[in-house]
Amino acid sequence: MRLLPLVVFCVASLPGQLLTREDQNKVSSGYLFVSPMASTNSYLLENDGGIAHQWTGNTSGAVAVKLLPNGNLIRMEATINNSFPGAVGTGGAGLLEELDWTGRVVWTYTLSNDQYLHHHDFQVLPNGNLLLIAWERKLPEQATAAGRDPAKIAPDGVWSEAILEVQPSRPTGGAIVWEWHLWDHLVQDLDATKANFGVVADSVGKLDVNFIGADQNPAMNPNWVHMNSLDYHAGRDEILMSSRLLSEIWVIPHGPGRSGDFLYRWGNPKVYRRGSAADQKLFFQHHAQWIPDGHPGAGHILLLNNGVGRGYSSADEIEIPADSVRAAGRAFGPEAPEWTFGQQMGPTFYSLVAGSVQRLPNGNTLIGLSNAARAVEVTPEGEIVWDMGFSTGDAGGFGYRVTRVSAAAPGLEGTALYRPEPRVLHAASRQSGAIAPGALIDLAGKDAAWSITDATGARFPLPAPGMLALPSSLAVGPARITGATESIDVRVDRVAPGVFSAAGDGKGGGLVLAVAGTTVRPAWQPVEWDGLHQSLYLMAYGTGLRGGAVSATLAGEPIAVNGVGLAEGLLGVDVVSLGPVPRKLANNGQTELVLSSGGKRANPVTVWLD
C-alpha cells in the first residue's frame, strides 16, 4: 500500500503553537525539546505540539538548556552581575541548575563574579565535567598593555573570553580543572612596545586584538568577541567555538598540557588579513557543532549562519579540508559550504539573533529561527517536511534553541515516553545509518517482522532480523524501518559503499581475492607474484557499490576499475574487478585499498602484497 504525504493545518494542544506542515513519511519521529527564555519551563513536545513532559526551573531567562543522557536537564539561568552591565538579555547567565526527571534540583553551580561571567553555552564532556564559555573582564590598563588601541577600549575595559572545564561537586559547586584564555592567544601590529606585537597575517593561530566586527562601537561596548556556542569532539579532543561579532568559528586543542592557538578558523578571513569583505562567509552565526558519528555528514561542521547584513539565514555544513594548513597568504578553506539551505527561502527565512541547527539520523536538518519563533525540518534536497510556529503562550516565542530527541534516548528509558529502536548497521563497513537500495544491512531488533517506508510513502516488507538485502526500488531520502514495537529513522542514499573484511568488522584485511594467471589467493594474507612476468588483479567484495561511478586507490595510487556487478549467488553482494596492480607495489606489504562509489568513500581495507 502506498501512503500519501500528509500536510496538517491545525492548532496544537498547547496555545500558541501552530503546526503548518508535517509530511509524515519524511519527518523525523521522537520529540522536540524547547525552553522558552521568558519562562521557567522546559518542554518535550510531540511532533504536533502537544506536551509530552515538562520541567520547571526556579529562574527565567534560560539560554542554553540541554537534556542529559541520564534524563536530567541542565538549565543556564540569568544572574545580575554589575561587573558585566547589560549581560542579561545578551546571553549572560551565571547560574547552572540541574533538574532530575521530576523537576527536583540535584546540582547548582554559579560562575558570576567580578572577573568571570558564564554566558551563552556549555558542553557536558564524556567524563561528566562541563566546558563553560565565560566572559573574562580586562581593565583598560590591561587592554592597553596587551596592545589594544586605546580608542577601542570602553570605560570599563574589555570583555575577553575563556573556556573553563568544571568538575562538578554535588549537590552544589565545582572545581575548575582546565582552562583556556583567549587573552593568551593575541597578536597586534599597532605598538611594538606592547605585548603581542607581530605580523597579523603570519599569526593566523592568534586573534588580532584590534579587529572590530561590523557595526560595533568598541569605545562604548566592551563585549568585543561575543562567543555564542561551544562543542567538543571526543575523538580529536578539540573544542569548536563561534564568535558572533567577528563572524568566525575557531577550533582549539583541549586537555592536559594543550591550551594552544587556533588549529582552524573559518568564516571571515578579514580578521587575520587574508581576505576582503568579498571573502566573508559567515554573518553573526550561531550554534556551530560537529555532526555526530552515524549521521550523514559525520565529522563536518554544521551551523546557523544568521546572515545579518545579508538578508536571510541559512543552515551551512562545512567540511574542513584535509589540506587546511597555515600556508602563507592563504585563507582557511573551504571556499563554500558542502551543503546549505536558506538562500532559496529569501528574507522571510531570517533570525537576527540566536537560532539553532541539528543534523538528524535520517539526513534531515532541524533549523530553529529564534526571532521568527519558528522551527523547520528540511531534507538534504531542500524540502521543508515539518514546520511549526511558537508565537505566543508559555512555551511560545523566543527560545535560544530547539532540539529533536529520539524516543530511544537513554534518558527516556524507564519512562512512558521511551520507545526502543533496532540497531541497523551496514553489513560490510559496520557503519550505522549507511543504507542504499539493494545493499545489505544487519538489522538487530526484538521484533519478528519488519518493513521499511521510503520517502515516497511506499512500504516494503523486510525479512526477519539479521543480514538482509534492502529492496532495489527504494526511493532516495528519509525512511523509517519499523517493527511491531521498535522503529528507527534512516536515510536512503543512492550508494552506501562498503567492503567486507576478513574479520567481519569493516576494518583490517579486506575480503579481496588476488588473481595472477590462473592462481586465485586471498589477498588478506601475503600474496606473492612475479611482477616482471605476470599481471596481478584484485576482486573486492562489498555491498552498496552499484548505482554510482566506482573508483579505487591502492597505497594512494589510482588503480583501474574493470567492472562492477552482483556476486553470483550472493544476494546484495557486489564484486569489483581491479587491476592490473602497478608493478611498483610489489613487495609493498600491507597496503590500503580504498573504493569509492558516486563520490562516497567506502571503509578502507588492507591487502597484503609481498
Residue 116 falls inside a structural domain: yes
Tens-digit pLDDT profile for residues 383-441: 999 999 986 566 566 789 999 999 999 999 999 999 999 999 999 999 998 999 999 99
User: pLDDT band at 532, cuts 50/70/90?
Assistant: low
pLDDT of residue 390: 83
Same domain, 399 and 457: no
Quote the pLDDT of residue 96. 96
pLDDT band at 336 (very low <50, low <70, confident <90, very high): very high
| Residue 57 domain-assigned (yes or no) | yes
pLDDT of residue 11: 32
Q: What is the DSSP string of 537-597?
A: EEEEEEES-TTS-EEEEETTEE--EEEEEEPTT-TT-EEEEE-PPPGGGTT-EEEEEEEEE
Same domain, 248 and 325: yes
Residue closest to 293 by CA, chosen among 387, 237, 359: 359
pLDDT at 588: 86
Name the average pLDDT for the chain. 92
Select from 389, 412, 435 the last residue of a domain: 412
**Lowest-pLDDT range of 245-259, 263-277, 547-561:** 245-259
Label residue 610 by pLDDT band (50, 70, 90).
Answer: confident
* 546 and 434 in a common domain: no
- pLDDT at position 392, please? 55
Q: Which residues are CB-contacts of 47 (< 8 A; sequence separation ≥ 6)?
A: 19, 22, 27, 29, 30, 31, 32, 386
Q: Does 4 fall in a domain?
A: no
What is the model's pLDDT at position 530? Answer: 67
Tell whether 2 is covered by a domain: no
Residue 4 confidence (pLDDT): 33
Asked whether residue 105 carries a pLDDT value surpassing 50, the answer given is yes
pLDDT score of 8 more than 60: no
In a domain, 1, yes or no: no
Residues 184 and 296 in one domain: yes
Q: What percentage of residues in the chain have a pLDDT greater than 70?
A: 95
Distances (CA, A) of 383 to 26, 353, 373, 512: 10, 24, 20, 40
Count of domains in the chain? 3
244 shares a domain with 362: yes
Task: Tell whether 418 is covered by a domain.
Answer: no
Q: CATH number of the domain that 560 lies in?
A: 2.60.40
Establish if 417 belongs to a structural domain. Answer: no
pLDDT of residue 399: 86
Q: Looking at the domain assignment, is residue 482 inside a domain? A: yes
- H or E element that contains 164: strand 158-168
Q: What pLDDT does residue 246 have?
A: 98
Which residues 6+ apart lie within 8 Å of 369 measured at CB? Answer: 313, 349, 350, 351, 355, 375, 376
118 and 71, same domain (yes or no): yes
Q: How confident is the model at residue 18 (pLDDT cuts 50, 70, 90)?
A: confident
Q: Let me know: does 481 contact 462? Beta carbons within 8 Å.
A: yes
pLDDT tens column, 111-134: 999 999 999 999 999 999 999 999
User: Do 432 and 358 share a structural domain?
Assistant: no
Say which residue, 492 or 16, is predicted with more confidence.
492
Tens of pLDDT along 24-79? 889 999 999 999 888 888 999 999 988 999 999 888 777 899 999 999 999 999 88
240 membership: H or E segment, kind and range: strand 238-243
Q: Give the per-residue pLDDT at 1.
A: 30
pLDDT tens track for 151-182:
999 999 999 999 999 999 999 999 999 999 99
pLDDT at residue 258 in the model:
75
pLDDT at 395: 55
Q: What is the pLDDT of residue 226?
A: 97
Domain that holds residue 158: 10-412
Among the candidates 412, 434, 455, a domain finishes at: 412
Question: In degrees rounded to 5, what are phi and psi of residue 558?
Answer: -60, 140
The SS3 of residue 347 is: helix
Examine the domain organization and report whether 65 and 193 are in the same domain: yes
Of the residues 381, 412, 443, which one is the last residue of a structural domain? 412
**Do 158 and 125 have their domain in common?**
yes
* 77 & 158 share domain: yes
In the predicted structure, residue 592 carries a pLDDT above the cut 70: yes
Examine the pLDDT at 326 and tell me if it is beyond 80: no
Q: Is the pLDDT of residue 3 over 50?
A: no
Query: Between the CA atoms of 320, 325, 326 and 328, what dihedral angle is there, to the nearest 10 degrees?
Result: -110
Q: What percentage of the chain has pLDDT greater than the value 90?
A: 82
369 and 245 fall within a common domain: yes
pLDDT band at 581 (very low <50, low <70, confident <90, very high): very high
- Indicate if 452 and 508 belong to the same structural domain: no
**3-state secondary structure labels for all residues of 496-520:** CCEECECCCCCCCEECEEEEECCEE
